[in-house]
A and B are shown apart, each in its own frame.
Chain A
Amino acid sequence: GAVVSQHPSRVICKSGTSVKIECRSLDFQATTMFWYRQFPKQSLMLMATSNEGSKATYEQGVEKDKFLINHASLTLSTLTVTSAHPEDSSFYICSARGQRYGYTFGSGTRLTVV
Chain B
Amino acid sequence: AQRVTQPEKLLSVFKGAPVELKCNYSYSGSPELFWYVQYSRQRLQLLLRHISRESIKGFTADLNKGETSFHLKKPFAQEEDSAMYYCALSGRNAGNMLTFGGGTRLMVKP
Contact = CB atoms under 8 A, between A and B. Distances in A.
B98 interface: yes
Nearest to B86: A43
A97 interface: yes
Contacts of B98: 34, 46, 95, 103
B86 to A, nearest CB: 7
Q: Name the interface size band of chain B.
A: 10 to 19
Interface stretch (A10-18, A65-73, A79-87, A105-113): A105-113
Chain A interface helix/strand/loop/mixed:
strand
Contacts of B36: 105
B94 to A, nearest CB: 9
B74 interface: no
Interface of A: 32, 34, 36, 42-46, 49, 57, 93, 95, 97, 102-108
